[in-house]
Structure 1
């Protein structure tokens, strides 16, 4: 009997241990797990055993609460609150107004602006202290998160001399969330905004959302879809939105709304939404006045106009500047801004859709009001796995331009694929526009350096949903995190960001970090290889954009089809955007234009974006284009299989729940990669008439099989593809 009791106790103990190690991913990178390195644990405790942190504002109180939570969970420490540093190991945090100690560091305070902070180790009279100082509560909050990150990642707290401030002023998430809680291009469940319960019920998830964003420096959120519903601007919803704004405010996050341009007609009872109509202008002024009564620090409007059926100023014979400036005028007294999206294309297909945004917006440079920023996607088509940088970057020197990235993986396998997007983000940021000679990078365009703009912004289309782990795929969290870190500092490396995310999210164990970081850094190229190698693009199935559809030829208009973009025929494949084709290369500065204009100098990864190339063209490798294409597709599948093997070796190094989840998702990704490879090569083979050589794994089905695959009710869509 005693043996049975001991066995039961041991079993219960083991079950408790297993449960303790389980992690559903909800805590994101703010897990604050106990420091396991004993030497570091003791060192950290000695470094912050006392606390001087007067908190007299909601933001400072939030920062102090975060600090106390983190120290308690990681170090089992509740620092003694003191009024002066009497011993070593004092942590001082505050602004120049709340702390005399911080006020003494005028040089640092002058250098960091409104949102920056400094963290400094100091020693005086044999006593050591750490100081977190800033000009505002937001700066202190960001500094607190950085100190906690140092502890989470096993960093040193000795000889600290950190001075940080954001490179970009407005760092926003764009939620494509609808009022019915569906999320356009959302792959992690329904919207987290529970409109039917607001404003009375504030879901604790909203606070955790704000904490997570503040921890990576995001300071704004647009809570409704760019394909807007005018009801978002009615009193009933403004009251709900105000409740969210109140929740986010202590964490330094401003709330913005997408404005439907036709709202004066749809909810205002007017007969027109013409931006030059006096009645329309008055309607918007009254609406903005109303919004600011509910949300005194409302950030402003994001507008999608005259694109994909959305109404806009062109509906009334006006241009984009007319529409944006009308809204800018009524927002200006409140210091609100207009973010006007440059993603436009009309119902009449141009000679090359990639050229249209440039053609419409370049002539308007200098015509926008000072509180308007034009929001430009990273590439000219639509968030493809790889695109060259948008030619508008550098082309509008008199107009502030905001970068728009897509964090949610609309064209990269939804939340089924492990694709770390920092390399994609960096590829665009580091691209040289040559607008003012060599070194005129896209990053310098959007952070204002190149033209001296003070209004700067970056936006990321959110991948957040109601799934318990927020992003559907555990590694989807890394893309949210990486976006925020690069929004704060575009000069950070993909490697460094991945390293700190892995440490905070999983473990500091190098035997896990090093191989998994390599998976992350290679994952974007892996996806490009099995989906759209060598500059191919827009080859997905209709509607949901999940699976392959290189054969799509009838989708309502030519530039919604795949064949419009790859133009495969018996002679070759690729879209000729050179000077002998659509001449889209002419939209770039001469140094870039000349490089892209010739097959020989175009980067191989963009070859078929800019050129229609013969199947038998000899590539730098010495292989024909056809064989190079085959190699890339097979390399993509092989790389996913390599990812699987590496991940399987991680068993036991992290919690089993997330290990198994990623393992199973990689199985989906491997199967999908095979489908992409076989579908595209079998289809293109009908044009090239060339074989997939015997040494390669042969497709297990014919082309008809792959054409008949349907992706029913794909998430982020409204029905069958």
Structure 2
């Protein structure tokens, strides 16, 4: 910004007659110094907007080595999608290499890059590459020889695959990969790779920590923010191919003609990037906007209304993806209001969109206030009996754990339990329970932990990833959803490190078998620096960050200990609220003698919802991992842990360890000063300072409360809480971001 200001000050003098005589030597010196400072770095100030698509110039030696491999671009640009691939390559190569290669219809020099499909590129057609099995999205990147010229070929069966391949090629350059002797083949088994936006029509984002909704509903359909295209570019770069525009706690107005025109406009922006739009719908919409007296899914008038609404939508948006539905959960209307099942409701909507090729994503996040059993059991109890009763175009959308996106949960027992029904994963990218925007919590390890969990449903190796990618039970319709962390903040996600969670989600959606560390390294190299002295320590820091959050918030299987409504900060003492299962005391069940929720065979028997080998491990105190101990067992404070410490001492150690881990992260980041731009460095440094203070708050408040129950001393050498319990109990936060009363 200062560079622009300095130039703006200088130009009026330069353009005025006799300008030189009016400038004193001192003022000239000031201008020179300002411009010099600008050239030294301030002119390159970064605000995070470019995400991992920064395309900053590579070191000259590296750029020179790459230029020989990208001396020419040979690719079609006859369609919007082909144009998108061409534009991205020109933008990326020009930025990374310092010069934009010429484009042509035919290879004429060594080092050409040829992009397209056999149908769009005669050059690729002549190569007779085997594009079978690539599907709609897959691609090849091969080194080849055409007319005597060594070339790099990006080939696909469909234009969207060619676009994904173009992004992959740019990623290789950004991360310092070799582009000589390439022979890459990329496919995905995940048909739907979707971002769910919990955005309301008034601009509020439920559980959003990066500003307001990026959708400018009041300006649509006329004004299309350039940001929409950049959003589509970012998603396409990691293979995301769907976006649900509105909150699962839906407003029926989204289905009215004025809003459908706005949705159509967004769909037009996203289409060149292979992204379909979906809408969350309110089950009672036929009543609220349709003039009907019922929303009973078996009522013929209701069925006709939904079919007509689907016809209306597809007439406007022929490639509309379908509906996402939250029903009979947290007060939302649904088929159970009429004595019908979830299958009845989902199938009615599925029949409406089926003629157009649409799908229905029906959320399995359900729990009723009237339920007196363990909340963790409710989704399984309601949906397991419905296995095989859903239409072929219904995906059951299941949260990664049985409660609600906690820092750590065991995998949801529905995975592996419904072999006749395609299940899609629902991850939360926005950090509702992991410190909002300011805490560094890289979620790649959380996603990986869930995807690699073995359900044992069909024997050893029946991982969650194999359930959702269709391999385990032979499903063709597959999908994964991530609750977006995107808002109007200039850096998109509330902090630069939160961008890594969006990126990791997309990469794992494309290939659930990728590992979180490799993804983190890729992201760091693209987003910050390719300097090994920066990359390794920062990746190490990221990889420990989620475990640090678990330690200072919810160690040893504790869960749901945050303040209600805002979910900001600890409140393990809270027993208030309209329903028991919204209160922390319901989940930790601590008293003078012990702590933990007994879900063993002698308690709620939630363990029985897992396959017998898994249930046996969770049920047995001698076998259960420490990480899930208090999720499944209520144990005495003096219970002897594997470490040799008592449970109470172990909890205090973990709480303190979490704070210490944040201190280590801060120290690591301090050593990175000067290795990246000052703006992003400073923001992350400040946020890590906030995280350390709030980690200590979590530690001290939790220890103070539990100590008030058990009366036990702290282990030797561990500091007591900084304040009495009454201080922590007195804090309130009615205006924190993402608050929902």
1:624 and 2:679 matched: no
Tell me the SS of whatever aligns to 2:397.
Answer: strand
Partner of 2:95: 73
Say if 1:349 and 1:558, in contact at 8 Å, map to a contact too: no
1:326 and 2:348 matched: yes
Partner of 2:8: none
Say if 1:57 and 1:137, in contact at 8 Å, map to a contact too: no
Partner of 1:552: 574
Partner of 1:421: 443
- In the alignment, the residues of structure 2 paired with residue 103 and residue 113 of structure 1 have an alpha-carbon distance, to the nearest angstrom, of 17
Partner of 2:364: 342
1:157 and 2:179 matched: yes
Q: How far has the Cα of 1:76 moved from its partner?
A: 2.1
1:14 and 2:37 matched: yes
Partner of 1:655: 677
Mapping of 1:275-286 within 5 angstroms?
275-286=297-308
Q: How far has the Cα of 1:362 moved from its partner?
A: 0.3
**Aligned with residue 729 of structure 2, among 707, 714, 718:** 707
TM-score (norm 1): 0.98
**Cα distance change, pair 15–316 in 1 and its aligned pair in 2 (3 A):** same
- In the alignment, the residues of structure 1 paired with residue 522 and residue 535 of structure 2 have an alpha-carbon distance, to the nearest angstrom, of 9
1:31 and 2:48 matched: no
Say if 2:283 and 2:334, in contact at 8 Å, map to a contact too: yes
**Aligned with residue 197 of structure 2, among 172, 175, 187:** 175
Tell me the SS of whatever aligns to 1:241.
Answer: helix
Tell me the SS of whatever aligns to 2:185.
Answer: strand
Q: How far has the Cα of 1:58 moved from its partner?
A: 0.8
Q: How far has the Cα of 1:20 moved from its partner?
A: 2.4
Q: How far has the Cα of 1:15 moved from its partner?
A: 2.8
Partner of 1:479: 501
1:601 and 2:623 matched: yes
Say if 1:349 and 1:559, in contact at 8 Å, map to a contact too: no
Partner of 1:195: 217
- In the alignment, the residues of structure 1 paired with residue 381 and residue 444 of structure 2 have an alpha-carbon distance, to the nearest angstrom, of 29
Partner of 2:317: 295
Partner of 1:507: 529
- In the alignment, the residues of structure 1 paired with residue 616 and residue 134 of structure 2 have an alpha-carbon distance, to the nearest angstrom, of 41
- In the alignment, the residues of structure 1 paired with residue 43 and residue 532 of structure 2 have an alpha-carbon distance, to the nearest angstrom, of 22
Tell me the SS of whatever aligns to 1:69.
Answer: helix
- In the alignment, the residues of structure 1 paired with residue 125 and residue 619 of structure 2 have an alpha-carbon distance, to the nearest angstrom, of 57
Say if 2:107 and 2:146, in contact at 8 Å, map to a contact too: no
How many residue pairs get aligned? The number is 718
- In the alignment, the residues of structure 2 paired with residue 6 and residue 557 of structure 1 have an alpha-carbon distance, to the nearest angstrom, of 69
TM-score (norm 2): 0.95
Mapping of 1:69-148 within 5 angstroms?
69-104=91-126, 106=128, 108-123=130-145, 127-148=149-170
- In the alignment, the residues of structure 2 paired with residue 108 and residue 662 of structure 1 have an alpha-carbon distance, to the nearest angstrom, of 46
- In the alignment, the residues of structure 2 paired with residue 687 and residue 76 of structure 1 have an alpha-carbon distance, to the nearest angstrom, of 65
Mapping of 1:389-404 within 5 angstroms?
389-404=411-426
Partner of 1:643: 665
**Aligned with residue 41 of structure 1, among 63, 74, 77:** 63
> What whole-Å deviation, never above 9, does each CA across 1:186-210 have from its counterpart, x for those lacking one?
0100000000000000000000000
Q: How far has the Cα of 1:635 moved from its partner?
A: 0.1
> What whole-Å deviation, never above 9, does each CA across 1:604-630 have from its counterpart, x for those lacking one?
100000000111111111110111101
Say if 1:349 and 1:557, in contact at 8 Å, map to a contact too: no
Q: How far has the Cα of 1:718 moved from its partner?
A: 4.6
- In the alignment, the residues of structure 2 paired with residue 179 and residue 85 of structure 1 have an alpha-carbon distance, to the nearest angstrom, of 50
Say if 2:703 and 2:721, in contact at 8 Å, map to a contact too: no
Tell me the SS of whatever aligns to 1:112.
Answer: coil
- The answer to which of 298-307 and 77-86 deviates more is 77-86
- In the alignment, the residues of structure 2 paired with residue 614 and residue 24 of structure 1 have an alpha-carbon distance, to the nearest angstrom, of 50
Partner of 2:266: 244
Unaligned runs of 5+ in 2: 1-23
Partner of 1:258: 280
Q: How far has the Cα of 1:5 moved from its partner?
A: 4.1
- In the alignment, the residues of structure 2 paired with residue 71 and residue 591 of structure 1 have an alpha-carbon distance, to the nearest angstrom, of 52
Q: How far has the Cα of 1:21 moved from its partner?
A: 3.0
Tell me the SS of whatever aligns to 2:40.
Answer: helix
Q: How far has the Cα of 1:44 moved from its partner?
A: 1.0
Say if 2:76 and 2:105, in contact at 8 Å, map to a contact too: no
**Aligned with residue 357 of structure 1, among 369, 379, 390:** 379
Q: How far has the Cα of 1:420 moved from its partner?
A: 0.1
Q: How far has the Cα of 1:39 moved from its partner?
A: 2.6
> What whole-Å deviation, never above 9, does each CA across 1:320-342 have from its counterpart, x for those lacking one?
00000001111110000000000
**Aligned with residue 369 of structure 1, among 391, 396, 399:** 391
**Cα distance change, pair 126–285 in 1 and its aligned pair in 2 (3 A):** closer
**Cα distance change, pair 21–317 in 1 and its aligned pair in 2 (3 A):** same
**Aligned with residue 567 of structure 1, among 576, 583, 589:** 589
Say if 2:203 and 2:212, in contact at 8 Å, map to a contact too: yes
**Aligned with residue 335 of structure 2, among 309, 313, 317:** 313
- In the alignment, the residues of structure 2 paired with residue 3 and residue 331 of structure 1 have an alpha-carbon distance, to the nearest angstrom, of 72
Tell me the SS of whatever aligns to 1:256.
Answer: strand
Tell me the SS of whatever aligns to 1:109.
Answer: coil
**Cα distance change, pair 700–133 in 1 and its aligned pair in 2 (3 A):** same
